[in-house]
Amino acid sequence: MIQVHIRKKFAGFCLHMDFEHEGGCLGILGASGSGKSMTLKCIAGIEKPDQGRIVVGDRVLFDSEKKINLTPQQRRVGYLFQNYALFPNMTVEENIGAGIREKKLRREKTAMQIRRFQLTGLEKRYPGQLSGGQQQRVALARMMANEPEVILLDEPFSAMDGYLKEKLQHEMMEALKDFPGDVLLVSHSRDDIYRFSPRVLAIDDGQVLQSGGIADIFFNPLNYKVARLTGCNNISPAEKRGEYEIYAKDWDITLKTARPVTEDIRYVGLRSHDIRAAEPGNRVRNSEEVSEREERMAGSNSENVFQMELLDLVESPFEYKYHVRAQGSGARSPIWWKTYKNLDQGEAPERFPQKLRIPGEKLLLLRE
Amino acid sequence: MSEWLDILGDLDFSPLFISLKTGVVATAISFFLGIFAARKVIKAGPKVKAAVDGLLTLPMVLPPTVAGFLLLLIFSRRRPIGIFLFENFDIKVVQSWLGCVVAATVIAFPLMYRNARAAFEQVDPNLVYAGRTLGMKEREIFWRVVVPNAGPGIVSGTILTFARALGEYGATSMLAGNIPGKTGTISQKIAMVIQDGDYVTAGIWVLIVTTIAFVIIAAMNLVSSRSKGMKQIKRW
Confidence (pLDDT) at B17 = 84
pLDDT at A141 over 80: yes
| Listed range (A17-26, A154-163, B65-74, B193-202) with the worst mean pLDDT | A154-163
Calculate ∠ Cα B182-B188-B191, nearest 5°: 145
Could you tell me the pTM of the whole model? 0.73
Which residues in chain A have their CB less than 8 angstroms from residue B137's CB?
73
**Is B226 an interface residue toward A (CB < 8 Å)?**
no
Note the ipTM here. Answer: 0.76
CB A136 within 8 A of CB A160: no
User: What domain range includes position B227?
Assistant: 2-235
pLDDT at A300 over 60: no
Contact A142 B132 (CB under 8 A): no
What one-character DSSP code corresponds to residue B236?
-
Q: How many domains does chain B have?
A: 1
**CA distance, residue B162 to nearest chain A CA (Å):** 26
pLDDT digits (tens, 9 = 90+) for B157-173: 888 888 888 888 888 87
Interface of B with A in 49-108 (CB under 8 A): none
What is the pLDDT confidence band of residue B226, given thresholds at 50, 70 and 90?
Answer: low
CB atoms within 10 A of CB A53: 17
CA dihedral B198, B204, B210, B212 (to 10 degrees): -130
- Determine phi and psi for A187, rounding to 5 degrees: -160, 155
Distance (Å, whole) CA A241 – CA A239: 6
The rounded radius of gyration (Å) of the Cα atoms in chain B is 21
Confidence (pLDDT) at B231 = 44
Q: What residue in B sits closest to A142 (Cα-Cα)?
A: B134
What one-character DSSP code corresponds to residue A350?
P
A10 φψ region: left (φ > 0), alpha (ψ -120 to 50), beta (else): beta
Contact A78 B133 (CB under 8 A): yes
Please compute, for residue B159, the number of CA atoms within 13 A of its CA located in the half-sphere on the CB side.
Answer: 19
**CA distance, residue B50 to nearest chain A CA (Å):** 21
CATH number at residue B9: 1.10.3720.10
**CA distance, residue A86 to nearest chain B CA (Å):** 7
